[in-house]
Structure formats: structure tokens, C-alpha cells
Structure 1
Amino acid sequence: MGTGALDGKAALVTGGGSGIGLACAQRLVDDGAVVTICGRTESRLASAAAAIGERCHYVVADISDEESVVDAASAAAAPLDALHIVVANAGGATALGPLALIDKGAFENDLALNVTGTFLTIKATVPLLTRSGGGSIVAVSSIAAALTHPLMAPYSVAKAAIDMLVRNAADELGRFRVRVNGVRPGLVPTGASDPLVGHEPTREDYLAQMPL
């Protein structure tokens, strides 16, 4: 018998192969949950799952593709025939530069990666969460949702949209015992944030807005 706070709980972490998602998956497993991580790169997912341990599984998925997200949600529910926890973490910034010079396709890609992906994750997992008696969805937003940063307009817009998506989802789903919350990390050193950490003006702007 386990003694973790999350014993008997199943979780899905999108973008769980690295960075914040990997750290979330590790903590969930440490607390007793059975975790499924998903992402687009199988080798990264396999390495992450092996490092976390036997209660961590993985499935390759593209969160901007609805069928792929539905399959990932089903895979996460399979080990315990239930789903209780969802961390909608996958996202990122691909369109960096002056707003007036950003390509339309690059702008739309940031929206798909962050907003559409989070929407599809919520949509796919709600039926499983409600069937399991309720649960919790946590969407990873960003400090950029509330504070501007140079050369990052598409990312900031996308993360601000996630904040409003979370608020609407919370209003709708609370009656079904599904909690929906968002978190706004600051600049976290990960592979995905390397371009920002390496760009001195952006890094200094981030650090100036962080209290600690």
C-alpha cells in the first residue's frame, strides 16, 4: 500500500518530456499518482518516463490535433480506468521579433500551440474527469499573460487567452466537481526558454518583473 497523497489517482501531463512538464510529472509520481506524459518527440518522452520510474507512461501526441489529444487522454485513463488530474502544460513561443514583422503563419502557430492545444486538452479530458467523479485541471500560462515583454507579442497574446479560457472553464465545470486553475510561471531555465535566457534584453526584462 502506498502512502502518497495522490495514491490511486491518474494524471495526464502534456508537454511532459522536458522542462516544467517533466518536473510536474516527477512530483505527481513522487506523490503516488500514475502519470502519462505526452508530447511530439518519442525519444524525449521515453527518456523522461524511464527517468521518472515505473508509474510514468508516455504517449506521442500533438496537442494541436484533436484526435491525437483524445487518444492521449484515453491512454492516461487506461491504467486505472479513470482520470483525476490534468496538467495542460504543452506550449511555447515560436514567433519572436518585432510585432510588425512577424509572419501571419508564425503568429497563428503560437495560438495553435498554446490556446488551441489547451482548449483541446480540456475538451478531451472533461468527460473522463467527470466519469471519475471529478478532478483538477491546471493550465500552465505565463507571467507574459499579464506583463508585456519585448518581441514576444504572439506568446503574450496566447497566454492571456489561456487565462480567460481557464476562467470560463472553471465557471462551467465547477458544478461537475472539476476544478480548473492556471499558473503563471516567470522565466524558468529550460530548453524551451534558452532563446529568451540567451537574449540579454529579454532576460533582464523578465528578471526585473520577478520579485525574488
Structure 2
Amino acid sequence: MHRFDNQTVLVTGGTGGQGSSHVRAFHAEGANVIIGGTDAGRGTAIADELGSRARFIRFDVTDENSWSSAVATAEEAFGAVDVLVNNAGVQNPPALIEDTDEVTWSRILRTNLTGTFLGVKAVAPALRRAGGGVIVNIASTMSMGGTALYAPYVASKWAVRGLTRTAALELGRDHIRVNTIHPGVIATRFINEPAVGATAAIADFYSPEPFAVPRLGEPADVTRLLLFLTSAEASFITGAEYVIDGGLLLGPALAAETA
């Protein structure tokens, strides 16, 4: 018996470093998985690898019609949808606010915030039809404070926090729980490779040496928390925010020789 037997889980950004980790873990725990994304080659390969309980759906999270089609496809393939993981996100190239153009600002907010909003809007009725379910929105430690050079991303993830709390209030009586996870610096392409239009990666600005846990996070670290929050073990948790960052937000740790 697995934690997610006979459940259907939709993961956006399901072909990325964190997303593919989530998809594989849910599948290993018995779930039917819908891999949402724009990379058809990678998405199809993951679905083929996992077999009959996996489907790749190529769709744009910023398009409401794409969401409607994705939900319909999921229900046709596997029946009720039980879990939505709003994982898709994009990063802006590092720049001062005064040097950030409105096109970049709008692109980041449209994917990270509007995409999450549209996901909640589209999937909530499906979860209600199923008798309840769980939504987890993936935010960031950047939503807990200011971060120089990343204003669009920071603003989008701060807004996801407010959206999540509001959704938790609106959907709780329908047995739908809504929470956020705030990853720190996780070792994926998102961190280790420059964003579109950038020459430097986020990892270039961070060293894990001062963290209480002095290493970069791994996708599996986030995945394990996600599995807990979407399982029956977390049935009394909604509107909550879970930071997983190795102590990044705590401030500098003691040097080893003084600890």
C-alpha cells in the first residue's frame, strides 16, 4: 500500500529539476501523474519511462484555455484529480529595478503569479468534484525578504503567499487544503544556469558555506516535504508556509572551529 494509490497528481514544470523529482516520487508512491510543461521531448521521455500511470501534457500555465484542456485530459485519462503542484516558474536576469524593462516584469509575473492563480482557478472545481484534495504552490525563500537584482521574481513569489492564504480560506470547507513550500538554493538548472537574457546564474551569488546546513539543497529534499504536505498525514495543515533552505534565512552560522 502506497500513500498515493489511485490518486491523480498534476505537476506543472514537471520536466525541470524539482518537477521531475516530484513526478517520479509521486509515481513511486502509487499515483497517476500528469506531467505539465513546455518541453515536449523531455516530458514525453519521462512519461515513457514511467509507463501507463503517467501522461505528459504540453501546456502553457499562463493560458486559461490550456489549463481547462489539461484538467479535462487528466480526468479523461485517470478520473478524479486529487493533487495540484503549482511548480512552474521562471527567473528574471539579474538587474536593478531601474534597469528592468516592463516586458521582463510582466513575463515573470505572468508565469509565476498568474500561472499559479490560473492553476488554482482551473483545478479547484476538479478537486471539489473529487470530494477534496490538495494544492501546493511552490514559492521561494525570496518571498520572505528583499533580494537585490531580482525584483520581478521576488514580487511574484511574495504575491503567491497571499494568493495561497486566500485560497486556503476559500477552499477549506470544500476539503481542499492549500499550502506553500519555499525552497532555498536547490541544485538544479534553474539555479546553476543563467536565466534567459542573463550571463550569471543565481548560484554565482550564493555560497552555502554560511548556511547552518552548509550545502546546496537537492530536489529530493523538497520532494520529501511535498509528499508529506499532500498526504493524509498533513490533513490538518492548510494556509501554511514551509521554508526548506538549510538555514539560509537564519543568518550566518558559527565557523566550525567555534561551534
- Map 1:105-184 to 2 at 5 A: 105-184=103-182
2:205 corresponds to 1:202: yes
Contact 1:95 1:110 in 2 (8 A): no
1:93 aligns with 2:85: no
**1: CA distance, partners of 2:67 / 2:203:** 36
Cα deviation code 1:35-74 (max 9, x no counterpart): 0011112112112223334321111000001101111122
1:149: how far off?
2.3
Classify 1:61/1:199 alpha carbon distance in 2 versus 1 (closer, same or farther; 3 Å): closer
Give, in angstroms, the shift of residue 81 of structure 1: 1.6
Partner of 1:23: 21
1:36-51 equivalences in 2 (<5 Å): 36-51=34-49
What is the identity, as a one-letter code, of the residue corresponding to 2:128?
T
> Residue 211 of structure 1 corresponds to which residue in structure 2?
247
Deviation at residue 201 of structure 1 after TM alignment: 5.4
Rounded to whole Å, the distance in 1 between the matches of 2:169 and 2:14 is: 27
Give me the whole-angstrom Cα distance separating, in 1, the residues matched to 2:174 and 2:161. Answer: 20
User: Aligned partners of 2:107 and 2:147: how far apart in 1?
Assistant: 19
Are the equivalent residues in 1 in contact too, given 2:191–2:202 (CA < 8 A)?
A: no
CA RMSD of aligned residues (A): 2.0
Of the structure 1 ranges 52-61 and 22-31, higher mean CA displacement relative to structure 2 is found in 52-61
Mark the runs of 5 or more structure 1 residues left unpaired by the alignment. none
Query: Could you say what secondary structure the match of 2:190 adopts?
Result: coil
For residues 19 and 117 of structure 2, the distance between their equivalents in structure 1, rounded to whole angstroms, comes to 17
Instruction: State the SS of the aligned residue for 1:21.
Output: helix
Match of 1:14 among 6, 12, 35: 12
**Change over 3 Å in CA distance of 1:50–1:80 after alignment to 2:** closer
Letter in structure 2 aligned against 1:204: S
Aligned length, in residue pairs: 210
Distance 1:111 1:24 in 2: 23
Check the 8 A contact 1:42/1:60 in 2, yes or no.
yes
- The answer on whether the counterparts of 2:39 and 2:58 sit within 8 Å (CA) in structure 1 is yes
- CA drift of 1:145 comes to 0.3
Instruction: Give structure 2 stretches of 5+ with no counterpart.
Output: 195-199, 212-244, 249-259
Aligned-residue offset at 1:19: 1.2
- Is the radius of gyration larger for structure 1 or structure 2? 2
Q: Which SS does the other structure have where 2:124 is aligned?
A: helix
| Distance (whole Å) between structure 2 residues aligned to residue 172 and residue 190 of structure 1 | 34
- How far apart, CA to CA, are the structure 1 residues paired with 2:98 and 2:208? 21
Q: How many angstroms apart in 2 are the aligned matches of 1:200 and 1:88? A: 23
Query: Which of 45-54 and 168-177 deviates more?
Result: 45-54
Classify the secondary structure of the residue corresponding to 1:187: coil
Write the letter of the residue equivalent to 1:128.
A
